[in-house]
A and B are shown apart, each in its own frame.
Chain A
């Protein structure tokens, strides 16, 4: 288990972000995930793909964060989509019925294809990559670079 959680963000096209989550998502880091990803959603990327391939442990606090982000994306007219979901998290999503609400895709490429039809709501610089990291659940994100 680690106490750090990192989001590596790509902006393949306007209004869309792919955030790769690295680390454990638990009661110590779930707020970081919720806060950092919410900032992306609220600042021009309501369509958010969370790449969870680099996630280790994931508990109910993480589920809570996903639910919060789903609501945030809905409120901005976008959608939260999950890709590369680890087996254990997939079982949790199935158990809790969240798999019927949160779209789950095998790969980010698949997720992007599925989202292709979605209308974009803002402009952005395609291909720009930013790194958002926090030491723990209390730290501020270190420089969220958002599309202008």
Chain B
């Protein structure tokens, strides 16, 4: 508890002045900043310590100081009105924080360093100074608790201990303040993180909602576009053909994909009619282009030369030369209908690599006779310049039906997981009951597709033609039925 300059043993002559070590000073300043107390507003706890010190020591002035790099800042100053800080001149506080223990200068005028301090030499005329360093647990001295008087005096060791205790109280107070500060900062940081998180969450939810909305809009727009395009690619309605019942069904596996299936029935002249049903390989816009090209080419060339083989050859040439067709090809059935004397039609059917059509007729016993119409040697259309096409001619008479379809029907999977196939389709046709009409056959096929586990995975187009029995339509009136659907929307049309 004794110091270099003590009341009982005043140092004769110049006391060796301590010079702060730069590294130690830097570490000390870091500690000062850590407590974040410089330039804070007055605080009752520190004011009370200063007041208590003044009372205990019976001195006019007592202060709590924090030593900054170039100034001594008063956290509390009892008896020193209007002074917030003073320069870091050596002699008093500036020197006290360089020592480990309480520094006592009984008479400043007898202390060579303190004598030059402005507080001593100046107006205030400080003659007595005692200061206990405010020391952190890691040994840094932040400032002092000090007492000053304008007359020389001495203090006891007990007094010195009291001053040290007061400095310890100040440090405790600063520690409490620091931990409160830290808690507050942590809380603020936590709230800030929460706020940012909530904000990010809100932004994310908003972006998600906007994206979802946009996607819904896009989806709806695309679906609407595809449906519209699909409708323009299909015949608006099947025509009324005297003495013939027609039915069709069209369904795309996805409302977003424009399918490649197509069909049409149209007049060639006063009594001849033509029909076709085909399937362009692939989907989407490119397939739709080929679909449109195929439909228009088939219709246009049929008016020039109605021979179905000639029509398919013309389409083959067109698809191979038209650049927009790219490397697409299609399979097509093209038929010519010529009325027979006494009812019914002579059908000339050519195939371009398409699955066989089925000629269906219930016999007198009620069983259904089924024949695959398969002109041999017809190649798919649009792949090879030398492609051959084949035709066959037969009669479609009263009570008979001709059934055309795309492979979406035969490639639909059954409950057993196998493809329906030609065998399955033949079996299905055999199970029909008389009368087998175009309408009933298409409706039964739709029911069949609906009964399969995942329906048709591919697009499906069905076209059926039947010659009504004379007694069912005594007045010679005809029926035409069309089912057209782009799943999941149905836009059935009656023609």
Determine if A117 is an interface residue (Cβ-Cβ < 8 Å): no
Q: Mark B94-121, 1 if CB is under 8 A from A, else 0.
A: 0000000000000000000000000000
Determine if B308 is an interface residue (Cβ-Cβ < 8 Å): no
Query: Do residues B281 and A101 form an inter-chain contact, with CB atoms below 8 A?
Result: no
Docked complex Cα distance between A61 and B279 (Å)? 12
Query: Do residues B377 and A67 form an inter-chain contact, with CB atoms below 8 A?
Result: no
Query: Closest chain A residue to B386 by CB distance?
Result: A101
Query: Do residues A101 and B327 form an inter-chain contact, with CB atoms below 8 A?
Result: no
Given the interface contacts A64-B329, A95-B355, does A100 sit within 8 Å of B377 by beta carbon? yes
Q: Mark A21-47, 1 if CB is under 8 A from B, else 0.
A: 000000100000000000000000000
B230 cross-chain contacts in A, Cβ below 8 A: none
Determine if B132 is an interface residue (Cβ-Cβ < 8 Å): no
Given the interface contacts A64-B327, A68-B327, does A97 sit within 8 Å of B282 by beta carbon? no
Given the interface contacts A61-B281, A95-B353, A97-B353, does A67 sit within 8 Å of B379 by beta carbon? no
Query: Do residues B281 and A97 form an inter-chain contact, with CB atoms below 8 A?
Result: no
Query: Do residues A98 and B379 form an inter-chain contact, with CB atoms below 8 A?
Result: yes
B388 cross-chain contacts in A, Cβ below 8 A: 97, 100
Docked complex Cα distance between A32 and B115 (Å)? 97
Docked complex Cα distance between A106 and B327 (Å)? 28
Q: Mark B377-397, 1 if CB is under 8 A from A, else 0.
A: 111100110111000000000
Query: Do residues A97 and B327 form an inter-chain contact, with CB atoms below 8 A?
Result: no
Q: Mark A55-79, 1 if CB is under 8 A from B, else 0.
A: 0000011011001100000000000
Determine if A96 is an interface residue (Cβ-Cβ < 8 Å): yes
Number of interface residues of A (CB under 8 A): 13
B331 cross-chain contacts in A, Cβ below 8 A: 96
Docked complex Cα distance between A95 and B328 (Å)? 17
A96 cross-chain contacts in B, Cβ below 8 A: 331, 353, 379-380
Query: Do residues A61 and B282 form an inter-chain contact, with CB atoms below 8 A?
Result: yes
Query: Do residues B281 and A60 form an inter-chain contact, with CB atoms below 8 A?
Result: yes
Docked complex Cα distance between A60 and B387 (Å)? 17
Given the interface contacts A96-B380, A97-B380, does A67 sit within 8 Å of B329 by beta carbon? yes
Specify the main secondary structure of chain A where it touches its partner: helix
Query: Do residues A67 and B383 form an inter-chain contact, with CB atoms below 8 A?
Result: yes
Docked complex Cα distance between A63 and B279 (Å)? 14
- Considering only residues 97-132 of chain A, those with a C-beta below 8 Å from chain B are 97-98, 100-101
Chain B nearest CB: distance from A39 CB in Å? 17
Q: Mark A87-99, 1 if CB is under 8 A from B, else 0.
A: 0000000011110
Query: Do residues B281 and A63 form an inter-chain contact, with CB atoms below 8 A?
Result: yes
Query: Do residues A97 and B379 form an inter-chain contact, with CB atoms below 8 A?
Result: yes
Residue in A61, A68, A100 with the greatest tally of chain B CB atoms within 10 Å: A100
Chain A nearest CB: distance from B461 CB in Å? 15
Chain B nearest CB: distance from A96 CB in Å? 4
B380 cross-chain contacts in A, Cβ below 8 A: 63, 96-98
Chain A nearest CB: distance from B325 CB in Å? 12
Query: Do residues A97 and B387 form an inter-chain contact, with CB atoms below 8 A?
Result: yes
Chain B nearest CB: distance from A55 CB in Å? 16
Chain A nearest CB: distance from B118 CB in Å? 83
B281 cross-chain contacts in A, Cβ below 8 A: 60-61, 63-64
B354 cross-chain contacts in A, Cβ below 8 A: 95
B329 cross-chain contacts in A, Cβ below 8 A: 64, 67
- Considering only residues 348-381 of chain B, those with a C-beta below 8 Å from chain A are 353-355, 377-380
A100 cross-chain contacts in B, Cβ below 8 A: 377, 379, 388
Residue in A27, A96, A100 with the greatest tally of chain B CB atoms within 10 Å: A96
Contact of B384 among A27, A61, A95, A101 (CB under 8 A): A101
Chain A nearest CB: distance from B274 CB in Å? 22
Query: Do residues A64 and B282 form an inter-chain contact, with CB atoms below 8 A?
Result: yes
B353 cross-chain contacts in A, Cβ below 8 A: 95-98
Chain A nearest CB: distance from B95 CB in Å? 78
B282 cross-chain contacts in A, Cβ below 8 A: 27, 60-61, 64
Docked complex Cα distance between A60 and B407 (Å)? 10
A67 cross-chain contacts in B, Cβ below 8 A: 327, 329, 383-384
Chain B nearest CB: distance from A4 CB in Å? 21
Query: Closest chain A residue to B356 by CB distance?
Result: A95
Chain A nearest CB: distance from B262 CB in Å? 15
Docked complex Cα distance between A95 and B282 (Å)? 18
Docked complex Cα distance between A60 and B384 (Å)? 16
A60 cross-chain contacts in B, Cβ below 8 A: 279, 281-282, 407
B386 cross-chain contacts in A, Cβ below 8 A: 101
Chain B nearest CB: distance from A30 CB in Å? 10
Docked complex Cα distance between A95 and B355 (Å)? 6
18 contacts between A and B (CB under 8 A): A27-B282, A60-B279, A60-B407, A64-B327, A64-B329, A67-B329, A67-B384, A95-B355, A96-B353, A97-B377, A97-B379, A98-B353, A98-B380, A98-B383, A100-B377, A100-B379, A101-B379, A101-B384
Cβ-closest 3 pairs across A and B: A97-B379, A96-B353, A96-B380
Q: A96-B379, A96-B380 are in contact. List 12 more A-B contacts (CB 8 A).
A: A60-B282, A63-B281, A67-B327, A95-B353, A95-B354, A96-B331, A97-B353, A97-B377, A97-B387, A97-B388, A100-B377, A101-B379
Chain A residues packing against B (C-beta within 8 Å): 27, 60-61, 63-64, 67-68, 95-98, 100-101
